[in-house]
Structure 1
């Protein structure tokens, strides 16, 4: 029996997305292709200079081969000036959130990376697209599927590329999982389980529903969903069930979940259980097939992944920076007109699952059928 799922028909959304990508390539300035031939790096502006930009993206942009930091968008002029001095771009390339339209006048900036709180992603990604800049939007793509649609539409209208900050797609240990899913050397993965959580020690925007959209599911659980979809060969689930666990610190997690778990159901009979929490530690994923298995610990971190299969350890050379690989890949896609591994449609897909998980948990674990 052939266990490979039959190809799904192309939906109207997918067709329009492909047409948009082709149109964007046709509209791309010829100067970009000249820049690629000349080896010129594309300029990146970071929108939001919080912990992720400071600790990960900024340092990664010192390691990239195809892009470099050429501007910032921040609410702090002093912080912007410090970044300009540290990274060697002019202070005229410092913008605030109300002046993002002026990015259109800066030819040194080709790509805008949105790294603000989740609830601001749509506003800032749309502003970047309207300024004619290619957009990377940090995960989760937005607080709602409707916001994801608005971002995709804005990028299509502007003829710019859109990618999501899914760095793990570029990590070699996760690439091995994707390869096994694609080749089905062990057969299809039919039993999957993963979890990601930590104990949040202080109040922050990630525990505020207005800015974060939810609790750990929006921040950490998206990684577990991503991993399950990698193991499925990017075939989306057909339904899911979920439940929120009782809060141990209700005074801290007032309007978001503290811990939540779910089960994804796939058309071929596969099941993927997931868990995420802001009050317990976990960082793992395992996928089992008839003829083998894959397991990874420290699965979702910036480094330190350790993967093993039923054949033995996965031996890879760890990258100096997952984020550098991710941003370089996006820059090359812009320059070469190649499809992204992590397009906006993938970010939207994941938000469909997130919304369904919340809906199922709110309905006492009711089974929710998924429509993408």
Structure 2
């Protein structure tokens, strides 16, 4: 401790109490990091964000709310409607000055009901000023402000490409599920203010107040695996891994493990991805090939290029696989080793999506595809691979 001697004062030392005993507690403070994934897909254009945040569950939080200053980590990735990865921000809570976040540990929900900088609001990503009132970056935020009639709209989330870096077509003032002066998502559509670009992709069944951010607990945080600038062969060993193929033509095999929850990004090049079970795969740029084995339950996005989705190879998958961005006339659905042809398949409409089945076995769901638009030219059959 520190003390000061004041000029003019007289001090007398007590000989019986001339010492001070200090006890120093050098026990290290342990951190018990708990990790959560989050994901959101807009109803109108289907822009998508995924990410992960973590905090110390040994700490006590006021009203059970974990705020931006409490975070140990926060990463977020932005995806275009076709599944193309647009931007990833790592440690976003440290890099974005206007970052605003609140997670309710009691309800397991990220708060998004207030304005983007309020206690109930949400504001992540990037909005970097570059002068003259312009900005760069992608941001994801909540914006339920008062409308001109003084009414408070319900919660809505909003994505903005501030410098028009990616050339998104305009929706209502910007690009996704915006509710500046609109009470519901349906009203946004009814007024015609969402623009023409997305009208054909709107879901048939809309949540009146927009989709909320989905949060899920992660037993073990994702382990990143990175490829090189050349062509790589990457064997995914275990679950909850985050795999990036990198440049050139990569082979990524996730079928060697029975564990789930991997996120696999082929990135650039003509990549080959062999999937296991319960994984999420994104091919990225290039003509990519996806092979599903016996397990299934994968979420597959081809990205840009002419992609091949082999939804059954010698065996019928135990669980249906979902393809998010099939493009008729460009991509191909493949089946191998089953001794069948196009006439053996059942292709039916299921709400806004198409279901492909073989007898009673559901093989794949194609999101946002009209079943009547598919023909034999969209399929490939092989005796073996």
Q: Which one has the largest radius of gyration?
A: 2
Pick the structure with more helix per residue.
1
Q: TM-score under structure 1 normalisation?
A: 0.23
Higher relative contact order structure (alpha carbons within 8 Å, sequence separation ≥ 6): 1
Q: TM-score under structure 2 normalisation?
A: 0.22
Pick the structure with more strand per residue.
2
